[in-house]
Every structure is written in structure tokens, then in C-alpha cells.
Structure 1
Amino acid sequence: MSDTQTLIENRPPTVAALFLERVAATPAAEAYRYPVPPASGQGPDDWKSLTWAQAAERVHAIAAGLIELGVRPEERVALASATRLDWILADLGIMCAGAATTTIYPQTNAEESAFILSDSGSRVLIAENAGQLAKALEKRAELPDLHHVVVIDPDGVETGDWVLTLAELESRGAARLEKDPELIKERVGAITRDQLATLIYTSGTTGRPKGVRLPHDSWSYMAKAIAATGLISGDDVQYLWLPLAHVFGKVLTSGQIEVGHVTAVDGRVDKIIENLPVVRPTYMAAVPRIFEKVYNGVAAKAREGGAAKYRIFQWAAEVAREYAKVSQDNYRRTGTRSVPFGLAARHRVADALVYAKIREAFGGRLRACVSGSAALAPEIGYFFSGAGIHILEGYGLTESSAASFVNPGEAYRTGTVGKPLPGTEVRIADDGEILLRGPGIMQGYHKLPEKTAEVLEPDGWFHTGDIGELSPDGYLRITDRKKDLIKTSGGKYVAPAEIEGQFKAICPYVSNILVHGADRNFCTALIALDEQAIRPWAEENGLGGRTYAEIVADPATVALVDGYVQQLNEGLQRWQTIKKFRLLPRDLDVEHGEITPSLKLKRPVVEREYKHLLDEMYAGTREA
């Protein structure tokens, strides 16, 4: 048996046990960093640290406090909060109490929050602030199982029998631990590997969210499997901003506990650019939209600098892509990243002019980024790779505890999601669907046996709903969602995500794009532009002072985007080409339900919302 197999097969039954082991092994080592805004509200944040021992003190107090509230093993405790240190400590406290965390995105409205609380049977809700508490108060009559709400930030909150603060919960827990110091050790020791640890409701690109049941063993396996890839070590500094209510964010906390590195936590997306040079991470995870925005931002800044500066950027971008493709291809064939002398010389010049500044903006120490949740356009991936920002794409679902595949460090291949994690099996069905089996796969959907049976076979194989191809040496390429494949009225299949990704790599102004064409005789697109990226162009072209809606409605803007659509079409098969498009009057967003909190497009919602624009594009054609 290999060391990797031994590591994974001899895993403890729970992450709670792993946490206790980590605290015992490195109590004085730094575990977390978190920002404290200045009292005046002006100036930079002050970053504070917690050691593993200090984190454990709070985690144990939260766990004991929940036990004091009567929470029993496997009972659900909901967490409705943005990504912050308290989220991680609360989640660990819930697990150390033997209970199960139900995650709720802070953007979720009162009605859907109430559905999740009710469907999960959550007994306690840990809410971030008065706004999250208000949702529970509004629906209190519909939530007979909800016995308490614990509020992290007490500003504007009235406490009482039903509502208490996190500080009060910890105080109660600390008092209980004084009387019963072995309480947490005993609770953790009693947890079995198949006990429910987490109930994550899929954000659902269609229909009502389903609760995915993930046992303690899934997270323990993930912790060991991620460590076994060798992608992270105890010397790393991770910058964690992803939504922890999402499985991708949550899995990053398990790997950290296993290796014991530092994690800087701040979920404020608008602070990413400001935080990176302060945190100076060695690795971070993100979703493709973040890399697209960085790329578009760099391109827009170059354009603002004038025609010469923009030409230099365009040249450097092409050099980066060529360099990445050649070096990756050579590594695959020979095990070295050698490139021809001329290309290496051009790359050195481009590095001094462009790439070094990009790396510095990421903090200057970034060894790798992990990208997941949706497909990254290969051309954007190649650009960053050539610029020295190595993006390792991965793949997984809520139902597979997030990480099923990841690119293997130096041997990463842009455009693929890498190889399966140790201990995870994969096979491709006859229709191209990716099937997975392993310890990370869910137990099933909460209270939905029929839905579970649709995707989970009795022998453990899980149907992902994604279409993919495996290379002879085991690298997986995702081609599309099975349910998202478009079949035109001419009988041709089109993979919209692939076309959308290509367009994002070509057009520096795009924010979101939806390719449409099911049962139609040609493809069309709905395109939303990135306001920050398009405004400088608008200023240069006589549209300064206009609203976003006025800018996108102007014929000059339509002509600009049409040029990029024609460029896209040149590289597509005839039946894939975008014959018509419409620019949307605003960007798609989470608040309108058009994208999920993990920034995936909700196609049915967008198509329903903009049906009039789609119908307009097909008016007068045979199927209209």
C-alpha cells in the first residue's frame, strides 16, 4: 500500500478529531488572520491573528454553548453569514458538538431562508447580524423547530429567551467547560464517520434547492486527499474570501486543518484588490469570474493609457498565451518547460513591461490559484499561466464535497480540470456523462429519496450531469452540462458554456453572456457588459456622463460588441455561430436570482426574464 493510500485509508472519522489533533500538534502556531476595520471608519484594516490554541478555546466554548442549548448529535444548526473568521469557528464548534451545519447564503431572501430552516429542521440559527435575524423573525411562526437564534454582530439586536449573542453563547459554554472539562473530547470521540456533518442546499440553477447530506467522513477524506496531492503545505498562507456557505469555500477549511497553514479570512469581495498586497498569499482559490474581471481590468487600464500602451498589452497577452501553450506542451512531452530562445526573449521583455506588475498586484508570492465552480476560458487561463499566475482548475460538486479533480501542480494543463483526487474513482458513461464514486460522495438529498435514486446508483456511482472526456493519462476535460446542451432545430448539438467561455476571452468588456438556441434554427446571445470596464471606453467615445443603460443602448457600443462577436464566429462551426445578440440594460446579479451566489448562470431565469429580447431576435424566422 502506498503512503498516499495509507494516509487516506487511516483517516480519523471526523474533521472535529483532525482539529483536536492539529491543536495538540501546533498549539502556538498561527492559524487564522482576520481584518479589524479602524474605529474611525477611515484608513486600512488592522489584521489580527489567532493561534490554533486560541481558535480551539473559542471553538470549544461555542460547542459547549450549543450543548447547553440542548443541541444533540446530528441535529442541525444553521449558519447565515458572510465569510469571516466567526463562520469557521462556529462551523467547527457545531461539528465538535456532534451536530450538523446547515449553510445559508447571506443573500438568501426571507422566504427561501425559511424553507431551508424548515426543511432541515434546524434547532438553532447562527445569524451574522440584525439583517439576518430579521429574516428569521419575519418567518418565526413558520419555524416551530427553531428554538434559538445566536447573533454574531449584536449591533441593533434585542436579546432575550429566543435571541442571544455569540459572545453570550461562548460565555455559557466556557462556564459549562469549567464544570465538565472533558465534554468536547467526549463528544468528538463519540462521533461516527457516517454521522451527518453538513447539510448544504444547492443554490440550484433550476428549481427549489435540495439539501445535500455530507457525513463527517467526507470532510475527513477531503482533508487527507487534498494534503496527499502535495498542492498545499504547512508553510502556505491562504487567502480565503469565497462564500463558506458554498461547498468550494467550505472544503478549503478542511485541507488547512490537516496541514496547519495560515488562512487569512475576509469575505468582502470589494476588498480583494486591497487585501492581496497586505495578505501576500502563497495560494488562493477563486471562481472564473474573478479572473475574468482581473483580466478585463488590466486590459481596460492599458487602453486608458493610450494606443501605444494598449498595443503593448495586446502583444504581451499573445506572448503569454504562446509561452504557456508551448511550455505546457513541452512539459507534457519531456518533463521540462523549455521554450525556443526567441519566445523566451520576448517573454522576458513582456514580463518586465506587464507580467511583473500583475504578479505584484496579487501580493508577489502567489504560487498557484485554484479555480473551480465553473469553467475558466482556456485563453484567459493561458494568459495568466504565461504571466506567472498559475491557475490550477479543479472540478467537483456539492454532492461530491467540492473537490473531485484538481490539476497536479507543475504538471497542470490549462483547459482541463486535472486528475481525480486520490481515493476518487471516475468513469465516462456511454452518453459522455461523468460518473464519480468515492468517500466524498453525498449520502443523498435530505428527505428526497426519489431525487437521490435519480443520481446515485446502489453501488455508489454518482451521476454528475456533466459531460466530459478523459485523456489517456487521466486528465479530465469538461465539455458541458448534460442538461445545458442545446439541440438546434437542425439537429445539431451546441455546448453553450464553451462558446461563452471563448467570448469572455475575446471581449474585454463582457461580464456575462448566455448563448441560446434550443429548438431554434440558429444561435443568439444575451450579453451583459462590465460597467467598470466599459465606462473608460464610453468616455473616449463621446458617451461620458451617460448611465450604464444608455451606454449599452448606444449604436456605437452595439457596433463595438458586434466586432467581438464576429471575431468569435470566425473560430466556430457554422451552426455554433451567434447570428444575433442583444445587450442587456443591466448586469445579471444574485439579487435578481439570475446568477447563483457562486456566480453560475441560472439559464432558465435569464431566458424567462429576457424572453422578449429572445423572441425579438427570432421574429420572422420559421420557428417564431
Structure 2
Amino acid sequence: MTHAQPSTSATSSTSAIPSVDDRPASVAHLLLDRVRSTPDAEAYRFPVPSGADTDEWRSLSWAQAGERVKALAAGLMALGVRPEQRVAIASGTRVEWVLADLGIMCAGAATTTVYPSTDVDETAYILADSGSRVLFAEDAGQVAKVAERRGSLPELTAVVTFEPVPPQASDDGWVMSLARLEQLGEEELRRRPDCVDKTVENIDREHLATLIYTSGTTGRPKGVRLVHDCWSFQAMSSLHLDKAGPDGQDRMGPDGLEYLWLPLAHAFGKNQISGQIAIGHTLAIDGRMDRVAANMRLLEPSLMAAVPRLFEKIYTAIAADARSRGALRHRVFRWAEQVAREYTRVAQAKGAELGAGMETGKSRVPRGLAVRHAIADRLVYRGVRAAFGGRILGCLSGGAPLAPDIGQFFSGAGVPVLEGYGLTETASGAVITLEEFRTGSVGRPMPGVEVRIADNGEVLLRGPNIMRGYHNLPEQTAAVLEPDGWFHTGDLGELTEDGYLRITGRIKELIKTSGGKYVAPLEIESRFKGACPFAANIVVIGDGRSYCTALITLDEPAVMAWAAGNPALAGRSYAEVCAAPETRRLVAGYVDQVNEGLQRWQTIKKFAVLTRDFDLAHGEVTPSLKVKRPVIQQAYAELIESLYEGTREQ
């Protein structure tokens, strides 16, 4: 059945490191403990618009956050919400999302997450399927979605808004402001001062905490049932990893600042909330994607979690900036890029830590490489770290594979990008390694999690973080969750002799050519993104075909900066640049470079450069920016067929 099965705990522990086995029943317990232990410390930092293009950043201490959370919890109780009943949140990432989620949790209820981009039909389906009693809605747009379907949502008794809405929307009291709910809660607390504390005391670790609906590529989304123990485990795992720094020191500790922009309807974002409460550091919250670069410079964070697409965009922006500064500067950048990758490979092979511990790495690499790295640091890497604010200790990457070349570049430049592995069904985190991390690997199992590889290459997981099933879908639950707790991830992977896991693809996405050869498209796509500094997205095609082809999209800022220096392309639009023969020749060079490292049946024989990137508006990516392959292949069916014209399919 299995190829390998590492021990349950892959990292050593000492008496100084808290055990995940001693975790409380819920994150609500952790929150109340945090408020009592560090009431005056800064908990959350958030922007408030103060002008047309400016923000004023404000803070909440743990005591202030605790007061608001208790008021929201008591307010929900006043509305009749009872333990394990569902309360939905449809909003972008903002401090109110976090406070509402914690309020729901402290009321003993369960959060149903809804992406703000979800359309009317799917929003109504999620609210109905979950049986949500109350909805926290970000603004009038979110209210309008449910108002249109109010008649089909009899269980939805109230809507609470984060932002003001038109008066007519709340004529019958169905819609109220967040401030009004907090006022109701304060009145309830005056009547029953200990109602929240007692409710939290009675939370059982197996009580439902969250319903996260997967944004699948086809069909209705499935509600993943995550109990309180899932998040308590994740919170204590984060604390365990933070305390397991070099020489027993905290990696970040309560004095650090984490920047959170991830969508909180996604398990990855919600995981960060849980870990932050356990560690006690400050969380700066702003989900506006167009503010990420400016916020990093302003906030100077210690830690940031992101999906690979963000690191790809930062890399292409840095490369484009170097190219715009002239041929010499660009050559220096490309040299430094190669030095960073070599430094990462050598240092990681010798077990050295990177980033804040780069001096350790320098003592373990050949002197010549250390000298070249020091020169590159003065010329290039300082600017790379400045793009992240200048004080970054490291970044977490999840949600999809990160191209190894990009990870090696950032790590060698002093911004370690640690890949983790998990799914919504595992409450996000399952595998990650901070000590002796290896770029291209997602690490070792977190303490308390088991990993094994099935005979067909599928990754199986077992641990406290695994979902308890899909909501109202017993047959689909049984298809992926074995009676003894092993969860079938649907991912293909490999385990090294010392327990490191490498994800090689998705079973459903595995390509079988007409010649009978199997191809993992993710591996090829990852290599291309690492090789081509202009790449935005790539989809490799070839299932049932005699050879592989690809649809390629280009990063607009990067390719336009390149085009500005090309007399034949200067002044053309982005779409015109993408369609130009000069651009095709540019991309072809990177395709050839990738093909050199592939088996013959894996190589990309033909490709097309599209005139726009895949986006959420066209339904081509999920809210977490994963490409929807079936949608892409259907939308570009004619173009794909043209890549096979003149060939005889076998």
C-alpha cells in the first residue's frame, strides 16, 4: 500500500517547545487566554481611508479586540444563534472579517465562508446548503445578492453589514450595521455578563467550527467540515514551529509583524489567523491586491504568506526593473540571479539556514561562492529585500506549487520562501519545514501529521487537521476519507529517505499521450515560470494527443517594459505586443530552454501566446488564483485544435 511512512513527528522537540498534544479545545480558548495574558499588546493593524489615495493605519490591542469579539458573540446570541449553527461571511480581507469570525467562534457557532466574488446563484446555494442563520456582508453589493434570493433563504434571519448600505435595504430590520450588532451584544452582556465565557468553556473540540466551500473547477462547490480541533491544532503547530528556531530562539515571537492580504474565505488565510493568536504577534490586515507592493514597503513586515502567483509577479517586476536600467545593469542582475540560486542549492544541501541566518549559510559554502554572494548582495539583493519592506524574516507559499528557480532566487537573496502543503480538507497546513527547508520540496509532516504514498503515487494524509467530511455529502466523503482516518488528497508525490515530500502533480490533471506516456503538466509549467521572467501563466495540453502543446500568457508590466526597448514594438498595446512575432521568438527561446531538460514525450512541440492573462472575471481562475484547466481548454478549444492541425493523432 505504501512506499514510505515517516514517524508522526518529524521535528525534534524539547521541554521548551509547546506540544501540539496539549492544545486547548478551540481557538476561542486561545483567544481569551491571549487577551488575559497580553491585553495591552498590539493585536491588529488596519487601514482606514483618509483621502482619495491615502490610508491612516490604526490599531486594536488584544484587550480592545477581545471586547469587540465578545460584543459580536453576544450579539449573535441575542439574534438567536446557537452552538454549531452557521453564520456566513461574504467579504474581502479586512479587520472586520477577523473580528466577525472570532465572534462567531466565541458564540459556539460555525463560520461559513463566501468569497466576495461569488455570483448570486452560488452565494444563494452556499447559504442554503449550509443553513446559515446570519450573514456578515461587506457592503451593499453583497447585500443585494442575498436580497435578490431572500425568498429562497428562509433560515437567513439577519444580515450584518461592515459598510453603510442604503436605508431602504434595512426598512424591516433584516439588515443591520456591525455597530448595531455590537450594541445588541453589549446589552446582552449587561444581562448575562458571563454568557460568552461560559459558551467558550462548553465548546467541544469536535464541534463544527467552519464550513469552507471549495471553489472546484466543475459542479457545485462542496462544504468542507472543519471542527474546532482542526484550527486549534493549526494554531499550536504554528506556535511549535515559531518556538523551534535556531538555538531554541523564537523565529518571530510576539514582537513580529505579519502582513495578511490573503482571501480569508480560503483555508490558507484563515490558518494565519489561528497561528497569530497562538504566537501573539501583530497582524496587519488589508486585502486590496493593488496595495500589496506599497503596503510591504510601508509596514516592513517580518512575515507574509502568499500564493505563488504573487512571488512570480514580484520576481518579474524586479527583473523588468533591472532590464529597464540598461544592458549592463541587466547583465549584473542575471549574474546575481544565478549566484542566488547556486548559493541556495549549496547552502541547503549543507543544512544551512537562509534569510535572517544567511551568515550561517556563508560559513558552509565554498569561499569563492560566499565572496560572489556578498558582492551580489551589495549590488542586487538589498534591493530585493527592500521590495518586501527590508525586515522580512521569510515568506510562506501555498495553494499551488512554486517554481523552484523562483524560490531559490528569493531564498538566496535573503527572502526565504518556504513552501507548505495542505488543502482545504486539511485546514490548509499539513507539511512544512522551517529548519533545513529545501526549495522544491514542501518539507516534512508537521508534528502530529502522518504522510504516506499509495501504490498509485497518491499522497495520503492523517492527523487532527483533517476534515470530518463534506457537508451533506456522505458518498463523496467516503470516496476520499477512509474509516481509519487516511485522507486521499488527489495529489501525486514522492517522499525522500529522510521524509521530505515533493508534490509532482494532480491525479486528475495527469496527461497520458496517445503514445501511452504520462506527463505531469504542473512540473513543466513550474519549470517554464522559473525560466521565463515574462511568464504570467501557462497551461500544458496533451491528453490523448501525440505531443504536448501549451497556452502561454505574459506578465503585462514585464513584457511591456521589454517592448518599450524594442523599436518594432514601442508604442503598441499589450495585446499587440503579445501577438507580435518578436514576442513569439522571445518566448520560443524560453520554451526551448525548458525542453532541453525534459524527456522527449514531455517537450512542448507547439505553443500559442495569448493576448491577455487568465482572470477571475472570465471564470478562468479560482479566487485563490489557481487556473481552471477545464474552463481554459473549453474557452480556447479552437486555438488548441489549431496547434495539432496537420498531424495525425494516434
TM-score (norm 2): 0.93
Deviation string, structure 1 residues 23-47 (Cα, Å, up to 9, x no partner): 1111111101111121x324x3211
Aligned-residue offset at 1:315: 0.7
Counterpart CA distance in 2 for 1:6 and 1:321 is: 35
Candidates 121, 133, 141, aligned match of 1:131 = 141
2:3 aligned partner? none
Counterpart CA distance in 1 for 2:471 and 2:351 is: 45
2:23 aligned partner? 11
2:203 aligned partner? 191
Q: SS at the partner of 1:458?
A: coil
Deviation string, structure 1 residues 555-575 (Cα, Å, up to 9, x no partner): 111121111111111111111
Alignment of 1:239-388 (within 5 A): 239-331=259-351, 337=361, 338-388=364-414
1:583 aligned partner? 609
Deviation string, structure 1 residues 341-389 (Cα, Å, up to 9, x no partner): 1111111111111100111121111111111110001011111111000
Counterpart CA distance in 2 for 1:389 and 1:245 is: 27
2:156 aligned partner? 146
Q: SS at the partner of 2:209?
A: strand
Counterpart CA distance in 1 for 2:237 and 2:519 is: 35
Aligned-residue offset at 1:4: 8.3
Counterpart CA distance in 2 for 1:258 and 1:265 is: 17
Residues 554 and 613 in structure 2, CA contact (< 8 A), matched pair in contact too: yes
Tell me which moved more, 455-464 or 468-477: 468-477
1:234 aligned partner? 254
How large is the RMSD of aligned CA atoms in angstroms? 1.6
Residues 5 and 423 in structure 1, CA contact (< 8 A), matched pair in contact too: no
Aligned-residue offset at 1:585: 2.4
Counterpart CA distance in 2 for 1:267 and 1:357 is: 25
Deviation string, structure 1 residues 282-328 (Cα, Å, up to 9, x no partner): 11111111110011001111111111111111111011111111111
Counterpart CA distance in 2 for 1:408 and 1:330 is: 15
Q: SS at the partner of 1:406?
A: coil
Aligned-residue offset at 1:236: 1.7
Counterpart code for 1:159: S
Aligned-residue offset at 1:232: 4.6
Candidates 36, 54, 57, aligned match of 2:64 = 54
Alignment of 1:410-421 (within 5 A): 411-421=436-446
Which one scores higher on RCO, CA 8 angstroms, separation ≥ 6?
2
1:33 aligned partner? 45
Q: SS at the partner of 1:445?
A: coil
Counterpart code for 1:241: W
Aligned-residue offset at 1:547: 2.7
Counterpart CA distance in 2 for 1:581 and 1:567 is: 14
Tell me which moved more, 149-158 or 514-523: 149-158
Counterpart CA distance in 1 for 2:634 and 2:517 is: 23
Candidates 491, 502, 516, aligned match of 1:466 = 491
Q: Percent identity?
A: 59
Counterpart code for 1:369: C
2:110 aligned partner? 100
Residues 252 and 302 in structure 2, CA contact (< 8 A), matched pair in contact too: no
1:434 aligned partner? 459
Is 2:572 the counterpart of 1:546? yes
Aligned-residue offset at 1:390: 0.5
1:445 aligned partner? 470
1:186 and 1:58, CA in 2 relative to 1: closer, same or farther beyond 3 A?
Answer: same
TM-score (norm 1): 0.97
Q: How many residues matched?
A: 620
Counterpart code for 1:145: E
Counterpart code for 1:184: V
Counterpart CA distance in 1 for 2:222 and 2:411 is: 37
Counterpart code for 1:249: G
Aligned-residue offset at 1:535: 1.1
1:285 and 1:407, CA in 2 relative to 1: closer, same or farther beyond 3 A?
Answer: same
Aligned-residue offset at 1:620: 2.4
1:397 aligned partner? 423
Counterpart CA distance in 1 for 2:152 and 2:554 is: 41
Counterpart CA distance in 2 for 1:584 and 1:241 is: 29
2:502 aligned partner? 477
Aligned-residue offset at 1:2: 6.1
Tell me which moved more, 545-554 or 130-139: 545-554
Counterpart code for 1:229: L
Is 2:121 the counterpart of 1:111? yes
Residues 394 and 403 in structure 1, CA contact (< 8 A), matched pair in contact too: yes
Q: SS at the partner of 2:527?
A: helix
Deviation string, structure 1 residues 213-253 (Cα, Å, up to 9, x no partner): 00011111111112112355222211111011000000011
2:9 aligned partner? none
Residues 336 and 380 in structure 2, CA contact (< 8 A), matched pair in contact too: yes
Counterpart CA distance in 2 for 1:192 and 1:86 is: 26
Tell me which moved more, 115-124 or 1-10: 1-10
Counterpart CA distance in 1 for 2:14 and 2:597 is: 46
Which ranges of structure 2 fall in alignment gaps of 5 or more residues? 1-12, 243-250
Counterpart CA distance in 1 for 2:19 and 2:493 is: 29
Counterpart code for 1:271: R
Counterpart CA distance in 1 for 2:137 and 2:24 is: 30
Candidates 67, 80, 99, aligned match of 2:77 = 67
